[in-house]
């Protein structure tokens, strides 16, 4: 296997996922794992992940330096590169130009003497950077193998010791040849040859669920989205009628969504769905609250409260199942300690101690597209599988400022127009996510002969594969024009539509 030592990067699990795609087994350990623990896994190579801190900060994360004496190939990424540079006697400085986002990679030798790490990679491919420190002086034995505009040491290597280090992130989707570099490292440099398969995951999880649940009952929170639907289908396979699926209408849903969810669920899943009407509870608690994190926390707590209330109506419920995915986990809490909290995803963070439920989260280590594959294996229909993601906190995080019924109504109307137009033009299927945001920014307009002073809708449409990185969708201008015209003409209270042209990073997909 390959061991990834985690320094707290947002992208650590992506490294694992890229390797999984190549059927290579890999395990993530915290950066401070002892040499004994690492040796016990019998790895063929080690990857040092990125991380948010600086190698020169007073409490900089260090590895057990004995790993460098194992004679194993090592690949350092971003912080991992800086760690290697310093540990081998080079130096790192704070860069004048922070590099976030795209950069072109120039491979120094594309010929016969090309580094095995970059073998078959296209020259001038786009790589994704996200760093402010950089290597200043190379340690002895290392040479650069690729450069970028701001980094003469975008990739370095000590070929004789098989130690490699990259300033960019090969694991993110938008690094064009990144998957090939990771494959080169695992297959050609570490020489691993295991065969790991996704189907194994499903069988293994169903077995684990059966063992864990025994004769107890499981309440499964359903949103109508892919993740919770897949969890419900998995649970039904595993425990049949011991499953109680619950759909909470929190008043933050899109237009017609409650009815749609109820219908789709009836057609495709065998367990009878319980719908809880909690609109007043959610909107009451959110009244007057405009801080994004506070909104997210209130919604998370209120969901738990509603699940708890529902659970009391049934006998023997011991578990709560949720469709938590890896990106929700990584951006909300720091799994192994060091990552930064980006936003509190509503379904992460454990349960309050007064609740005696245990959590079941079978998708916790997976990404959306992996979940979609499992959904298809479980026989769920494509329409359900290919729905765009919709966040647990719903429209609340798409209204800047406090959440109230008039604003929800405006946003719902704009959103439905956007989705209609995208479906009609075929762009719904081609994009990861599309939604409207109510900015609560007023501006002056003219309609007919009258002055207006109304609100602004921002249209956000992004392309992504796993939601960890994203670029705004390059929609045709005539489509954007149609969307804008219809929203302004058909939605009362809107006189301006803008299009969000930010990527993730440095923006996030949602606005809050």
Residue stretches of the annotated binding site: 223-229
**Least distance to ligand XMP, CB of residue 510, Å:** 3
HEC string for 295-342: HHHHHHHHHHHHHHHHHCCCCCEEEEECCCCHHHHHHHCCCCCCCCCC
Span of 302-310, 312-320, 385-393, 437-445 interacting with ligand XMP by CB under 6 A: 385-393
> Should residue 510 be labelled a site residue for ligand XMP when binding is judged by CB under 6 A?
yes
CB 462, CB 430: distance < 8 Å: no
State the number of binding residues for ligand XMP (CB under 6 A): 17
Residues in 426-455 that interact with ligand XMP by CB under 6 A: 433
Q: Report the C-alpha gap between 413 and 429 in whole angstroms.
A: 21
- Pick 38 or 462: Cβ nearer ligand XMP: 462
CB of 358 to ligand XMP, least distance (A): 20
509 binds ligand XMP (CB under 6 A): yes
Q: What is the CA radius of gyration of the chain?
A: 25
Indicate the DSSP class of residue 192. -
Mark 463-482 with x for binding to ligand XMP (rule: CB under 6 A) and - for no binding.
Answer: ----x---------------
Rule CB under 6 A: which of 346-375 touch ligand XMP? 346-347
- Least distance from ligand XMP to the Cβ atom of residue 467, Å: 4
What is the sign of the dihedral through the CA atoms of 361, 363, 365 and 368?
Answer: negative
Q: What is the dihedral of CA 378, 379, 382, 388, to 10 degrees?
A: -30
Residues at the binding site for ATP are 223-229
In whole angstroms, how close is the CB of 83 to ligand XMP at the nearest point? 27
Q: How far is the CB of 229 from ligand XMP (least distance, A)?
A: 13
| Nearer of residues 493 and 505 to ligand XMP, judged by Cβ | 505
Catalytic choice (131, 169, 174, 346): 169
**Does the annotation count 78 as an active-site position?**
yes
Q: Which of 172, 389, 417, 503 binds ligand XMP (CB under 6 A)?
A: 389
Note whether 398 binds ligand XMP by CB under 6 A: no
In the bound state with ligand XMP, the residue whose beta carbon lies nearer, of 80 and 300, is 300
Instruction: Write the CB contacts of 330 (distance below 8 Å, at least 6 apart in sequence).
Output: 10, 12, 13, 339
Q: How far is the CB of 52 from ligand XMP (least distance, A)?
A: 16
Tokens coding 330: 């990584």
**Across the chain, which distance is largest between two alpha carbons, in Å?**
78
State yes or no: residue 172 binds ligand XMP (CB under 6 A).
no
Question: Partners of 102 in the beta sheet?
Answer: 128
Is 140 an annotated catalytic residue?
A: no
What span, in angstroms and rounded, lies between the C-alpha atoms of 234 and 240? 9
Can you give 85-113 as a three-state secondary structure string?
HHHCCCEEEEEEEEEEEEEEEEECCCCCC
Q: Does 257 bind ligand XMP (CB under 6 A)?
A: no
Determine which one of 26, 99, 121, 171 is catalytic. 171
391 is a site residue for ligand XMP (CB under 6 A): yes
Stretch of residues binding ligand XMP (CB under 6 A), selected from 195-203, 325-333, 406-414, 453-461: 325-333
Q: Catalytic: 340?
A: no
Stretch that binds ligand XMP, among 77-85, 259-267, 324-332, 422-430 (CB under 6 A): 324-332
Alpha-carbon distance values, 397 to 175, 251, 296, 432 (Å): 29, 13, 8, 18
Nearer to ligand XMP, 118 or 325 (CB): 325
Total residue length of the chain: 512
Q: Which of 6, 331, 370, 421 binds ligand XMP (CB under 6 A)?
A: 331
**Which string of DSSP letters, residue by residue, matches 151-162?**
-TTSEEEETTTT
CA 350 to chain centre: 18
- HEC string of 241-278? HHEEEEEEECCCCCCCHHHHHHHHHHHHCCCCCEEEEC
Instruction: Map 2-19 to HEC letters.
Output: EEEEECCCCCHHHHHHHH
Q: Which is nearer to ligand XMP, 9 or 147 (CB)?
A: 9
Annotated active-site positions, please? 78, 169, 171
Q: Which residues bind ligand XMP (CB under 6 A)?
A: 327-328, 331, 343, 345-347, 389, 391-393, 433, 467, 504, 508-510
């Amino acid at each position: 296997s390959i061991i990834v030592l985690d320094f707290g990067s947002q992208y650590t699990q992506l490294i694992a996922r890229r390797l999984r795609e190549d059927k290579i087994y890999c395990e993530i350990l915290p950066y401070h794992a002892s040499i004994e623990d690492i040796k016990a896994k019998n790895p063929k190579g080690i990857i040092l992940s990125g991380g948010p801190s600086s190698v020169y900060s007073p409490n900089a994360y260090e590895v057990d330096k004995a790993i460098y004496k194992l004679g194993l190939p090592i690949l350092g990424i971003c912080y991992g590169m800086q760690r290697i540079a310093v540990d081998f006697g080079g130096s790192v400085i704070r860069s004048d130009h922070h590099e976030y986002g795209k950069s072109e990679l120039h491979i120094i030798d594309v010929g016969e003497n090309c580094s095995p790490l970059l073998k078959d990679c296209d020259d001038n491919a786009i790589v994704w950077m996200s760093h402010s420190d950089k290597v200043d002086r190379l340690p002895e034995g290392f040479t650069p193998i690729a450069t970028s505009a701001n980094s003469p040491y975008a990739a370095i290597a000590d070929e004789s010791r098989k130690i490699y280090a990259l300033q960019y992130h090969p694991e993110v989707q938008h690094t064009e040849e990144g998957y090939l570099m990771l494959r080169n490292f695992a297959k050609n440099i570490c020489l691993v040859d295991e065969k790991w398969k996704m189907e194994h995951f499903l069988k293994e999880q169903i077995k684990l669920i059966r063992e864990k649940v025994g004769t107890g009952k499981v309440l499964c929170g359903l949103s109508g989205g892919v993740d919770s639907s897949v969890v419900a289908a998995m649970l039904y396979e595993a425990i049949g009628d011991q499953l109680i699926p619950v759909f909470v209408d929190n008043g933050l849903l899109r237009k017609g969504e409650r009815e749609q969810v109820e219908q789709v669920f009836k057609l495709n899943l065998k367990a009878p769905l319980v719908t809880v009407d909690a609109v007043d509870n959610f909107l009451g608690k959110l009244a007057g609250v405009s801080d994004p994190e506070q909104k997210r926390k209130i919604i998370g707590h209120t969901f738990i409260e509603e699940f708890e209330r529902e659970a009391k109506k049934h006998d023997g419920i011991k578990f709560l199942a949720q469709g938590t995915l890896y990106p929700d986990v990584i951006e909300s809490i720091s799994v192994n300690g060091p990552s930064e909290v980006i936003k509190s995803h509503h379904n992460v963070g454990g349960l309050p101690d007064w609740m005696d439920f245990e959590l079941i989260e079978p998708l916790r280590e997976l990404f959306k597209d992996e979940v979609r594959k499992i959904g298809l294996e479980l026989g769920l229909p494509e329409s359900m599988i290919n729905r765009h993601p919709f966040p647990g906190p719903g429209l609340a995080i798409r209204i800047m400022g406090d959440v109230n019924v008039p604003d929800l109504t405006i946003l719902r109307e704009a959103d439905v127009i956007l989705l209609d137009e995208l479906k009609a033009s075929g762009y719904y299927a081609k994009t990861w996510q599309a939604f409207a945001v109510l900015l609560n920014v007023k501006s002056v307009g003219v309609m007919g002969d009258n002055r207006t002073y109304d609100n602004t809708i921002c249209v956000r449409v992004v392309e992504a594969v796993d939601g960890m990185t994203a670029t705004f969708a390059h929609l045709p201008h005539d489509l954007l024009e149609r969307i804008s015209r219809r929203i302004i003409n058909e939605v009362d209270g809107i006189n301006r539509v803008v299009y969000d042209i930010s990527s993730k990073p440095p923006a996030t997909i949602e606005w809050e």
